[in-house]
């Protein structure tokens, strides 16, 4: 695989004035030289290959935007090296900009008063796209999305979803090697989100464009990204394929069982007793009791199983020796809950 972006030990520090409280404090601030250094990004290294879609995740204020700004050449790192397409972005901002496309969710980059197609034509001139490439791209676009009624509409009159769609199309128009999507689906409805994901997926596939996606919507991540990178407080927490994410907390799955005959009164007391009984049963069967934990919701008994210690089938076997299972359901731990655990400091 061919690397397209390389970050080596990249850090970014910001100098921030230590502010004091109150009126007296703000007068003090005027003359204060009391700065503190904040590490927005702290020693991050990664290699991004051609054609990848990377989910770049982290809670608010984690340093995502700062990293993106450094990769797009808007910010200069305090230390470390960045190479994007063989160009140092912050040293050759213009040259780098020719090779990238950027979409900021909710911040349209199209000309507000102009019909979209005119914006596209101006972009064609700005990026000096040859006629043939431009026409091919427009053909590809119209094969993916229904553009006819969009093209001649001024951006100002568009819905947020339509605007985001057009912004994404505009970002790909000069066939850049890398496209940065900064929260592209923020504020969009379910149908529009699906449409945007489909569009990004297709363009990535057709043009082999590298996509770096920041988002808070795990649906985006599940639909698009094979690899994710998670940062928090400027430090990298995770950089691997999405399948490996759940292993961070062991391989957990939840077995959800209905153990009550229809019509049984399932109040809290009853369910509590039931789950206690099941737990003692399992404790007899298995020597390692840390392999599972029990809870209940409504009339269902939920058993969280650590699959590195025991298997679901074994647990199921043990339970059915004593109980009649009326219904069962197996649930993988979701990307969302893993990410939430990471954000909440579970790692």
Partner 1 sequence: MKRGILYYTRIYFKIIAQDIKSKMSYRADFIISMIGMIATNLAGAVSFWIIFQNFPTVQGWNFYEMIFLYGFSLISATPAQCMFDNNWDLRYKVFSGDFIKYCVRPINIFFYYMSEISDVKGLGQFAFGIASVVFAWIKLELRVSVLSILLFIVAAVSASLFVIAILNVAACTCFWIMNSFFALSLSNTLRDYAKYPITIFNPILRFLFTFIIPIGFMSFYPSQIFLRPENVPIISWFTPVFGIIFFYISYKIWMKGALAYNGTGS
Residues engaged in binding partner 1 (CB under 8 A) = 60-61, 65, 69, 72-75, 93-95, 97-98, 100, 102, 104, 107, 109, 111, 113-115, 118, 121-122, 125-128, 154, 182-183
Which residues have C-beta within 8 Å of that of residue 334, sequence separation ≥ 6?
Answer: 218
For the bound state, the minimum distance from the C-beta of residue 153 to partner 1, rounded and expressed in Å, comes to 12
Query: Which one, of 199, 195, 237, 193, lies nearest residue 218 by Cα?
Result: 193
- Identify the bridge partners of residue 213 per DSSP, sorted by sequence position: 55, 181
Nearer to partner 1 (CB atom), residue 183 or residue 299: 183
Nearer to partner 1 (CB atom), residue 111 or residue 249: 111
State how beta strands 100-104 and 178-182 pair. Answer: parallel
Sign of CA dihedral 81, 86, 92, 96: negative
Nearer to partner 1 (CB atom), residue 118 or residue 133: 118
Nearer to partner 1 (CB atom), residue 215 or residue 260: 215
Nearer to partner 1 (CB atom), residue 196 or residue 315: 196
Query: Which one, of 53, 36, 58, lies nearest residue 230 by Cα?
Result: 58
Which residues have C-beta within 8 Å of that of residue 82, sequence separation ≥ 6?
Answer: 5, 6, 7, 8, 10, 70, 71, 88, 89, 90
Nearer to partner 1 (CB atom), residue 53 or residue 178: 178
Task: Give the three-state DSSP class for 324.
Answer: coil
d(CA 207, CA 253): 37
């Amino acid at each position: 695989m061919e690397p397209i972006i390389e970050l080596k030990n990249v850090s970014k520090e910001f100098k921030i004035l230590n502010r004091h409280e109150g009126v007296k404090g703000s007068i003090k601030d005027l003359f204060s030289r009391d700065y503190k250094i904040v590490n927005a990004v702290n020693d991050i290294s990664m290699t991004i290959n051609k054609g990848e879609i990377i989910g770049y995740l982290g809670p608010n204020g984690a340093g995502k935007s700062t990293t993106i700004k450094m990769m797009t050449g808007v910010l200069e790192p305090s230390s470390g090296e960045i190479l994007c397409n063989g160009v140092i972005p912050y040293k050759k901002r213009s040259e780098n900009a020719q090779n990238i496309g950027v979409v900021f969710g909710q911040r349209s980059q199209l000309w507000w008063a102009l019909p979209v197609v005119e914006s596209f034509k101006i972009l064609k001139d700005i990026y000096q796209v040859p006629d043939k490439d431009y026409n091919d791209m427009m053909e590809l676009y119209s094969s993916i999305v229904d553009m006819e009624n969009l093209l001649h509409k001024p951006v100002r009159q568009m819905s947020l979803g339509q605007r985001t769609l057009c912004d994404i199309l505009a970002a790909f128009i000069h066939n850049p090697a890398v496209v940065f999507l900064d929260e592209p689906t923020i504020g969009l409805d379910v149908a529009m989100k699906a449409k945007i994901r489909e569009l990004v997926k297709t363009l990535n596939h057709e043009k082999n464009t590298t996509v770096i996606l920041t988002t808070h919507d795990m649906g985006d991540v599940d639909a698009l990204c094979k690899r994710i990178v998670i940062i928090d407080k400027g430090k990298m927490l995770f950089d691997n394929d999405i399948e490996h994410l759940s292993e961070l907390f062991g391989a957990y799955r939840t077995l959800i069982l209905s153990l009550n005959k229809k019509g049984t009164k399932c109040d809290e007391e009853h369910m509590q007793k039931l789950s206690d009984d099941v737990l003692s049963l399992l404790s007899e069967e298995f020597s390692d009791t840390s392999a599972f934990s029990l809870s209940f919701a409504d009339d269902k008994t939920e058993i969280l199983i650590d699959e590195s210690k025991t298997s679901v089938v074994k647990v199921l076997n043990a339970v059915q020796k004593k109980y009649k299972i009326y219904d069962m359901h197996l649930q993988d731990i979701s990307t969302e809950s893993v990410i939430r655990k990471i954000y909440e400091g579970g790692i």
